[in-house]
Amino acid sequence: MAAQIRKLDPTVLARTLERARASGDAGLVVFDLDSTLLDNRPRQARILRELGLHTGLLPLAQARPEHWEDWDIRHAMRNAGLAPAEIEAHAEEAKLFWRERFFTSEYCAVDEAISGAARFLSEVRRAGAQVAYCTGRHEAMRAGSVASFERLGFPTPGAGVHLLMKPTFELSDDDWKATAYAELRAIGTVLAVFDNEPTHVNGYRHAFPDALVVHLATDDSGRDVPLADGVLSIKSFLA
């Protein structure tokens, strides 16, 4: 389920690059990963296919990324062709099967890029600003995350590129994002932030009022959280 879009404004991409050129390496552009730079549906589909082979539910063994319309595995099972009674009989098992795999390095390595993401990241770096990936993924997913960056042509962690991850799985994404503000400030002046989750977008808007705070209108956790004033939305990184 995606949050209500306040205003689509693709000009924020050009405005971000203008700020990057003006600030140089003192500036920082912050990006979330899941449903912001990376499309998780290939990962979701792989898990559902493996579940189909594990359980003998053959329609699931043919699951495709487009079957995931939101984060509800029941909807994906329905879209893959399971009857309502089959979904009810296997939904709890499916949730556990999914949870054991989704939050791992092995599975996150198969994510694909949101349209235009690799090019925009490269443009930010060429403009001179630093990049910070600030993600709700925990440290155990670092290797798989970096592997997907390499495969997709994203800037990889090193000089001017930072990957900030939760120290533990148990720490909530909301609490982690709030504690990351200080680390981001220590890296540089936050010029722009891109994130799909309304709660996190609103937090960034409050913490960095001078930054461009941009909501990716892809999908989110489904909480009924309106976007704060001043937040703009885009659907991808294609201008």
In order along the chain (239 residues), what is the average pLDDT of each group of 10 residues?
65 97 98 97 96 95 94 95 96 96 94 97 98 97 97 98 97 96 98 97 97 94 90 91
Which DSSP category does 70 fall into? S
CB 36 within 8 A of CB 198: no
**Beta bridge mates, 146:** none
The pLDDT, as a whole number, for residue 112 is 97
**Token pair of 1 as six digits:** 């389920």
The pLDDT, as a whole number, for residue 1 is 44
Which DSSP category does 6 fall into? S
The helix (H) or strand (E) run that includes residue 97 is helix 84-102
- Please say whether the dihedral angle defined by the alpha carbons of residues 50, 138, 143 and 33, taken in this order, is positive or negative: positive
What is the Cβ-side half-sphere exposure of residue 6, based on CA atoms within 13 angstroms? 17
CB 211 within 8 A of CB 132: no
The pLDDT, as a whole number, for residue 239 is 66
**Token pair of 147 as six digits:** 């592997």
The pLDDT, as a whole number, for residue 4 is 60
**Beta bridge mates, 132:** 30, 162
pTM: 0.93
